[in-house]
Amino acid sequence: MSNNVAVLVGHRSGAQGAYSPWLGMSEFEFNSKVAEKLKDVADIYYRPNTLFVSEMSRLRKVVNKINKDYYNLVLELHFNSFSDPRAHGVTALHNITNRYTKRLAGLYCDMVHDEFGIVKRDLIPVTSTRENGGTFILGCEASALLVEPFFGSNSQDACAFCGRIDDYANVLREFIKLAQ
């Protein structure tokens, strides 16, 4: 552990999550590029590609690894995607019983809105491990947030991020600074 903050790249090289035709990149590809730029302010984690186990157990494995250190904050990076291409906006999933994560989720959405003009959606409070993001957010001993800066399936959203990996990394760097 060399930083107080951990960043987990969503999905894994063997199953990369949603693909954005507008970005020409998968969630995993986009967010690995972003994460690699944050190495000086965060410890970067990847989900293992372990064969013959469930996605849940791959996630639990990396969450257990993160929990061995005492981080202040853990972020999981994704982007959203939906069958209706009109769906758009930035959101973040936070722990319903942890008000600090709710505040941070709001701050994250404000910052992405200000920098990229992405419309703010409602924040998503996670209440159980059965929900999307639940295993990660409730499984982390540190305060944890899962962030969805835009819809890769929406052209306007995704194009706001085209060629702007450095700018997004800088927003996250500033966010990490403010969160501590």
Residues forming the site for Zn ion (CB under 5 A): 10, 17, 27, 78
Q: How far is the CB of 80 from Zn ion (least distance, A)?
A: 8
Q: Which is nearer to Zn ion, 3 or 89 (CB)?
A: 89
Q: How far apart are CB 11 and Zn ion at their closest, in Å?
A: 6
Smaller CB separation from Zn ion, 27 or 157: 27
- Element (DSSP H or E) covering residue 29: helix 27-36
Token duo for residue 112: 């992405």
Instruction: Provide the angle, in degrees to the nearest 10, between the axes of the packed helices 27-36 and 165-179.
Output: 60
Closer by beta carbon to Zn ion, 18 or else 38: 18
Tell me how far apart the alpha carbons of residues 83 and 86 are, in angstroms, rounded to a whole number: 9
Which residue's beta carbon is nearest to the bound Zn ion?
Answer: 78
Phi, psi of 116 (to 5 degrees): -115, -5
User: Closest CB to Zn ion among 95 and 133?
Assistant: 133
Least Cβ distance, residue 165 to Zn ion (angstroms): 17
Minimum CB separation of residue 56 from Zn ion in Å reads 14
